[in-house]
Amino acid sequence: MKFGVIIFPGSNCDHDAYWAISEVTQQPVTFLWHDSPDLQGCDVIIVPGGFAYGDYLRTGAIAKFSPVMESVRKFAVEGGLVLGICNGFQILCEAGLLPGALMRNAGLKYVCKPVQIRVESINTPFTHQLSRGEVLEIPIGHMEGNYFCDEPSLAQLKDQDRIIFRYSTPNGDVTPEANPNGSIENIAGICSEGRNVLGMMPHPERAAVPELGMTDGAKLLQSLVAAMTLK
């Protein structure tokens, strides 16, 4: 099993993701350069947080044209596992691997704080070791985390059990007050139709060891490793 973490100009969570995979899950991991189409035989691709290409034009709008993302598209279509975190989620939406788009936060301010997210589906490699309704504490850090999609896309996400996380209270209640960015129906993470591509705004790599004050993010990473082991 081998993980690959993409580096774009402007990525700033690439080393965090690399460290979490290497040190927390104890799995082989390598960096993948944005300008190269070579995925180096990786089994899982992480599209990390940051500001790819400076977020010029629109978050993820330039990154989707990079050589590495063309390879990621093919990898995902063939069933490869892809995890997009924060800016990575934005890039996956721009690349057409996930529906919808991430807009400016409703309050038009950058939000950086721990939040609670409720697990809505365990029918993915990323969440199969979790419990439906389980509440995780994982931090966010974004300006454009306001997820939006049209009504047909939202209906499809619901019908296909593809809404994976929703912002909630610590008790698991999905309320407007628990929504940090105005995201439609408190959506914090969704998956692809094939369930092999996950995009989420919270940062699990920032909540992976006690020293960071939160450990729930490690549950997602360990679930992913376990899923690969079962293959």
120 in active site: no
Active-site residue among 94, 120, 144, 205? 205
**Residues in contact with 8: Cβ distance below 8 Å, sequence separation at least 6, in sequence order:** 34, 50, 52, 53, 63, 66
The CA–CA distances, whole Å, from 161 to 44, 67, 124, 140, 179 equal: 22, 31, 10, 23, 20
List the structure tokens of 174.
């999905």
205 is annotated as an active-site residue: yes
Sign of CA dihedral 86, 88, 92, 93: positive
Give phi and psi for 18, each to the nearest 5.
-60, -45
128 catalytic, yes or no?
no
Instruction: Check: CB of residue 140 under 8 Å from CB of residue 111.
Output: yes
Please pick, among 13, 86, 93, 149, the residue that the annotation labels catalytic. 86
The sheet that has 187-191: what strands, in order across it? 29-33, 3-7, 44-47, 81-85, 197-200, 187-191, 163-168, 111-119, 135-142
3 state DSSP class of 29: strand
Which residue intervals of 101-196 are DSSP H helices? 151-159
Residues belonging to the active site:
86, 203, 205
